């Protein structure tokens, strides 16, 4: 068993389509600039309403990534 060390970053993903798409958007953006992403946890989910209709989904994630040895 290896003794990995992780950092955790909190990000908010958004989407006009769905909660799942908001998660994918956040992870895709992070993966473009941070190596060794290993896990995520959904911390909160919310949305933006306009005239009684859902306009955006917002998902707050904590994303863990391994420090290189």
Domain containing residue 14: CATH number: 3.30.1660.10
Q: What is the pLDDT of residues 46-60, one digit of tens each?
A: 999 999 999 999 999
Q: Which domain holds residue 56?
A: 6-66
* Residue 13 within any structural domain of the chain: yes
* Residue 1 within any structural domain of the chain: no
Which pLDDT score is estimated for 62? Answer: 98
CA 14 and chain centroid, separation: 9
When divided into structural domains, the chain yields a total of: 1
Residue 1 and residue 20 in contact, taking contact as beta carbons nearer than 8 Å: no
CA 66 and chain centroid, separation: 16
Q: What is the pLDDT of residues 14-49, one digit of tens each?
A: 999 999 999 999 999 999 999 999 999 999 999 999
pTM listed for this prediction:
0.86
């Amino acid at each position: 068993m290896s003794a990995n060390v992780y950092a955790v970053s909190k990000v908010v993903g958004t989407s006009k389509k769905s909660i799942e798409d908001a998660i994918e958007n956040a992870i895709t953006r992070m993966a473009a600039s941070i190596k060794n992403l290993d896990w995520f946890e959904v911390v909160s989910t919310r949305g933006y309403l306009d005239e009684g209709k859902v306009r955006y989904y917002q998902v707050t994630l904590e994303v863990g990534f391994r420090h290189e040895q």
